[in-house]
Amino acid sequence: MSSVVLATHNPKKLAELRRIVAASGVELAVLGLDDVASYPEPAETEPTFEGNALIKARAAVAVTGLPALADDSGLEVDVLNGMPGVRTARWAGAKASDEENRRLLLAQIDDVHDDARGARFVCCVALVLPDGTEEVVRADWPGRIAHEESGDQGFGYDPIFVAEGQAVTNAELSAEEKDTLSHRGRAVRAMVERLRLRGAEEEQ
């Protein structure tokens, strides 16, 4: 396996995956959806991160014929009964910006005390191969929701999420720190290790 397509147009997610793959020492070219022929992307209709990741990976492998990775990630807030969950990117509406999503979430828990602002980022990474093989790995990153935005790194809800053991938001961490600690970093590293082992088996 020399190439894999990541089912995303998000340049920050693509850059993050490429950094993690490079750091792992696996020789793997990571393509994004902008690098392959365009196709109608499927609706994410599953109620779970695992299900939506598989929907995206299956569509990518069907069109490109390449091994496909897809992630579905989101934020679960305790006091909101685990929401936004799979609606994380659309919390303030189908076309809402990251800033609008953050602003709505902060307003919804504005009067919630620090002790009850627990939350976690969740990432599920799915791998689908041309032969129909499918794997999914999941990683959680616990923390809490800050009272206001801080930092200009990262994306999404990073400016309002303070990870467990940290004193600053994700948006104040360097890319390297975030890759090491994050839900996506851990899920992707686990999947990259599976790819490495699969490649070693194929060579035997």
DSSP 51-115: HHHHHHHHHHHHHH-S-EEEEEEEEEEGGGTT-BGGGGGGTT-TT--HHHHHHHHHHHTTT--GG
Below-50 pLDDT ranges, the chain? none
Which neighbouring-strand residues pair with 29?
Answer: 3
CB atoms within 10 A of CB 28: 19
Please tell me whether 13 is known to bind a ligand: yes
Pick the closest to residue 83 from 122, 139, 113, 51 (CA basis): 122
Please tell me whether 140 is known to bind a ligand: no
Q: Active-site residues: which are they?
A: 72
pLDDT at position 194: 81
Please tell me whether 72 is known to bind a ligand: yes
CA 124 – CA 140 distance, rounded (Å)? 9
Please tell me whether 9 is known to bind a ligand: yes
Angle of CA points 129, 85, 10, to nearest 5°: 55
Domain 3-203 class, CATH top level: alpha beta
pLDDT at position 81: 97
pLDDT at position 204: 57
CB atoms within 10 A of CB 65: 11
The model scores a pTM over 0.95: no
Q: Which two tokens stand for residue 40?
A: 């109608």
pLDDT at position 21: 81
CA 49 – CA 121 distance, rounded (Å)? 11
Please tell me whether 82 is known to bind a ligand: no
Please tell me whether 10 is known to bind a ligand: yes
